[in-house]
Chains A and B, each alone.
Chain A
């Protein structure tokens, strides 16, 4: 019994030049778009470039756009699309294309480096740290982030306005929120959140929350509270006074300095090195 066929239109090419190629694949029960891409690789286009690791929605490698919507290739079932209509697969739009479905996401790694790391208060006398489950439920939600960068891809501040210098994007705002709400952490990163990571640019359209494959309520639970805390600090007169006299509105926290990060990793060897993707000639 021949299985039904599906047709895919896949972007093939680089940042400089590219085109759509059409491929027909045989489908089977439960098939996901990544299976179809692998089938194309195995039988029709072995040099087709795609990132993936886990095929279980856990590593966040296989991000792309399917019919224009940012999604994980491995968590999108073929049966979700109307039969007979071609499925269009393109690389994430917010990042430079390396080849085919693979994009250069190194900007995200640079952002991560700028965030001053976790700095806990001392342990309790018996060597433990006590935290109630209730108090960490919310940040555990943020820590589900698989760094697929789909939220970064869909955020119009990053994507259309190209504010990559001034705005860290939703993924790193929730990372900052995690640190800010961590019961053990002692650093106050709020000045940085406003100035260096640009929380003010976010206008709460919630597009990021909609595409998050981990169903993290990025905006409501992460960014809005962060905005409130930053606003509190800067505009609340009581806090303002407290700040003026004590220099610190949150006595258990000390202001973070951008240099707090200390030595950071050199990720320059990652991409774009040595002409990067410019190597088009045969070996």
Chain B
């Protein structure tokens, strides 16, 4: 039964068609290579369409003082200096070119009064830096890349899921997967592979992510011998919807706060002034009066160095923990969040023009008119700073010929990602991964050989659930996994909680091996869910183990039993997870040293 599969051969296979995958595929295609682009959903539907607020790039269109160095500093500071400095540097330097290139390919960003690309304020960015299109920047980006990409000759395999990477010696040789529609197997034979499969948000009960974010790329790479890094750093976005229950977790863009929205508790008190982190004390307004003055100046396009920005725009980790603390202290809103008020801050016309998608989202899903009432918001699992460990210059993993870019790769964001830095990450590192995968493929004279045994194993693994007559239902198990992660590996962690979480994950792992599937292979949602579960369990375990090892609080990782940031030991290490035999090994590795000239950039101003 395993012998039945079709084979496709390419120089480079890109797995994932979000921003990172599309940009990588465009780059490799432009090198004259044969490129295959594989994705779980239809083309243009990847999670990237959901991105709202904008793409960060120091274009300097609104604030001429902005440049790559400031962007680099903001990014390193936001990441609490655990970022791979070289990635943060490349990102800050190249993001403007990547945004301009999008415009060349047809993207239509909002404009400044003199007709250039407009930029908006976002948390942790010193200057207005996010190029945007209302609050649907991700859609604009993916549509542009998609429409440009389909004229470059690549071959697109939609609704096709990769379940295993194949190897020849210590290098990749291809990928094994199935067509969603028929359930039939497919093998891709390639010289180089780029993973661009996005995040892992669907491991949590309350999350903002699309169904695709099940950690596939991270798990595929891990099983093929690559390392995962920084998995303890899971970003909880401060503002997800908390009501009604059916949309719990759905994101409210940080753009709302960028446009003047403020956070209040049930007593109508603005909360953020009580939570200003020392790292940001110098540049944050300590009083409502100054914060309001800043808003008035910034929304009218003026800037005054002596007026500091509102603490509502502190980085996400700080705001998320502030909300968590308010709710815990009994000062939350009726449905367990806090209030986000834009209605009293901007005119209804402004709100509808600047935040049209938010307006509709609340109107249609929550029956709330955000031009008249505040929103109820709370933290939601949103973004994984961790992922596949890659070489900062080339994006190659520890496995030869295997590259990774976008949210599934690690290193760029350190302990906490600034808003807008993901879309630019996709463009910058999508291109770099495509380029180096292409170069690597060109160096290989022949297509690597495929190992029939590996293919046989992969198909048996995929079909196993059909052969059982009893066992749990995959949807039920996924719910249990989400509960476990939410309760034990959530926004505030302790040793006890994490150990309990790991025990429950172990139990789930056992039971997932007994899942039973009804029906046939033809577009079978339950079967597909089962396959996703394997990946979710791997990344969840990596997250819990790394969180247990990092005995400090930093960025998105908060330990109740180690509330301080450790300046000695943990300030200098990243944590990696790798497969050792059949168990997961977690280890500390040293942060690469920062060269003197880069240190100087960090210390400037």
Q: Contact residues of A with B, CB < 8 Å?
A: 14, 28-32, 35, 41-43, 46-61, 75, 77, 98-100, 102, 105, 109, 112-113, 115, 117-118, 120, 127-133, 136, 139-140, 143-147, 179, 182, 215, 261-267, 269-271, 273-283
Q: Contact residues of B with A, CB < 8 Å?
A: 1, 6, 8, 41-47, 49-50, 100, 103-106, 108, 110-111, 114-118, 133-134, 136, 139-140, 143, 147-160, 179, 181-184, 210-212, 243-247, 250-251, 357, 360-361, 364-367, 463, 466, 473-476, 479, 517-527, 529
Residues on B with beta carbons closer than 8 Å to the beta carbon of A132: 111, 115
A279–B134 touching, CB < 8 Å: no
B150–A112 touching, CB < 8 Å: yes
A144–B182 touching, CB < 8 Å: no
Sample of 25 A–B contacts (CB below 8 Å): A32-B246, A42-B475, A46-B526, A47-B517, A47-B519, A48-B525, A51-B42, A54-B47, A54-B49, A56-B50, A59-B49, A77-B365, A109-B42, A117-B105, A120-B103, A133-B118, A143-B143, A144-B136, A262-B151, A262-B153, A263-B152, A269-B156, A274-B179, A279-B521, A280-B520
C-alpha spacing A54/B147, complex, angstroms: 21
| A-B CB proximity, top 7 nearest | A30-B244, A46-B526, A130-B115, A47-B519, A263-B153, A118-B106, A42-B475
* With A144-B139, A276-B182 as contacts: A57 and B364 at CB distance below 8 Å: yes
C-alpha spacing A283/B360, complex, angstroms: 44
C-alpha spacing A55/B474, complex, angstroms: 20
A143–B140 touching, CB < 8 Å: yes
Apart from A57-B364, A267-B158, A279-B182, what 12 extra A-B contacts exist at CB < 8 Å?
Answer: A28-B244, A31-B244, A32-B246, A32-B365, A46-B475, A55-B250, A56-B361, A102-B523, A143-B140, A270-B156, A270-B157, A279-B522
B156–A280 touching, CB < 8 Å: no
Q: Which of B41, B115, B136 is the one whose CB lies under 8 Å from A53?
A: B41
Residues on A with beta carbons closer than 8 Å to the beta carbon of B523: 49, 98-100, 102, 277
B45–A61 touching, CB < 8 Å: yes
* Minimum distance in angstroms from B53 CB to a CB of chain A: 13
* Minimum distance in angstroms from B148 CB to a CB of chain A: 6
A contact face: mostly helix, strand, loop, or mixed:
loop
Residues on B with beta carbons closer than 8 Å to the beta carbon of A277: 181-182, 522-523
Q: Which of A53, A102, A131 is the one whose CB lies under 8 Å from B210?
A: A53
Q: Which of B6, B153, B158, B210 is the one whose CB lies under 8 Å from A270?
A: B158
Residues on B with beta carbons closer than 8 Å to the beta carbon of A41: 475, 525-526
Residues on B with beta carbons closer than 8 Å to the beta carbon of A60: 45
Least CB separation from B37: chain A residue: A265
Residues on A with beta carbons closer than 8 Å to the beta carbon of B522: 14, 99, 277, 279-280
Residues on A with beta carbons closer than 8 Å to the beta carbon of B103: 120, 129
C-alpha spacing A271/B156, complex, angstroms: 11
C-alpha spacing A270/B36, complex, angstroms: 12
Residues on B with beta carbons closer than 8 Å to the beta carbon of A282: 466, 520-521
C-alpha spacing A128/B114, complex, angstroms: 11
B151–A30 touching, CB < 8 Å: no
B108–A140 touching, CB < 8 Å: yes
Residues on B with beta carbons closer than 8 Å to the beta carbon of A61: 41-42, 45
A30–B245 touching, CB < 8 Å: yes
B466–A283 touching, CB < 8 Å: yes
A57–B361 touching, CB < 8 Å: yes
* Minimum distance in angstroms from A245 CB to a CB of chain B: 32
A261–B525 touching, CB < 8 Å: no
B49–A58 touching, CB < 8 Å: yes
Residues on B with beta carbons closer than 8 Å to the beta carbon of A112: 147, 150
C-alpha spacing A132/B474, complex, angstroms: 52
C-alpha spacing A147/B463, complex, angstroms: 33
* Minimum distance in angstroms from A16 CB to a CB of chain B: 12
B156–A266 touching, CB < 8 Å: yes
B151–A54 touching, CB < 8 Å: no
Q: Which of A127, A265, A279 is the one whose CB lies under 8 Å from B520?
A: A279
C-alpha spacing A31/B6, complex, angstroms: 41
Least CB separation from B244: chain A residue: A30
A265–B151 touching, CB < 8 Å: yes
C-alpha spacing A109/B245, complex, angstroms: 35
Which of B6, B49, B116 has most chain A Cβ within 10 Å? Answer: B49
Least CB separation from A148: chain B residue: B45
